[in-house]
């Protein structure tokens, strides 16, 4: 099951990188907004792969600490997404 989780984590990071390539070159407020949203997606992808990596490379790390790190990264990613979507609302 851990291998499947790692594969899914890599797919999430790959999707975030794909977003970077998709939004690059877009300027102005729309580009800035999409960049913030993309950074949020990257942080979300990294949160998952970090959780998997910590459990694999640092098996002695307590599960509660690993989960806390994961949730703080997810929280940060969602805050970045919300900030980006908030800027979209200002475009009206």
What's the chain's average pLDDT?
84
Secondary element (H or E) of residue 24: none
The model's pTM is 0.77
pLDDT at residue 79, as a whole number: 95
- 8-state DSSP, 91: T
Question: Is 90 exceeded by the pLDDT of residue 24?
Answer: no
Burial 38-69 (b: 16+ CB within 10 A, else e): bbbbbbbbbbbbbbbebeeeeeeeeeeebeee
Question: Is 90 exceeded by the pLDDT of residue 10?
Answer: no
Which residues span the domain enclosing 18? 2-90
Number of folded domains that form the chain: 1
Question: Is 90 exceeded by the pLDDT of residue 92?
Answer: no
Question: Is 80 exceeded by the pLDDT of residue 70?
Answer: yes
Of 74 and 30, more confident: 74
Backbone angles phi, psi at 7, to 5 degrees: -60, -45
């Amino acid at each position: 099951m851990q291998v499947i989780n790692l594969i899914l984590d890599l797919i999430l990071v790959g999707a975030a990188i794909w977003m970077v390539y998709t939004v690059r070159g877009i300027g102005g407020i729309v580009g800035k907004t999409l960049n913030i949203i993309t950074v949020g997606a990257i942080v979300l992808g990294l949160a998952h792969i970090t959780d998997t990596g910590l459990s694999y490379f640092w098996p002695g790390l307590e599960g509660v600490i690993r989960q806390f790190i994961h949730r703080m990264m997810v929280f940060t990613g969602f805050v970045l997404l919300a900030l980006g979507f908030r800027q979209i609302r200002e475009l009206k």
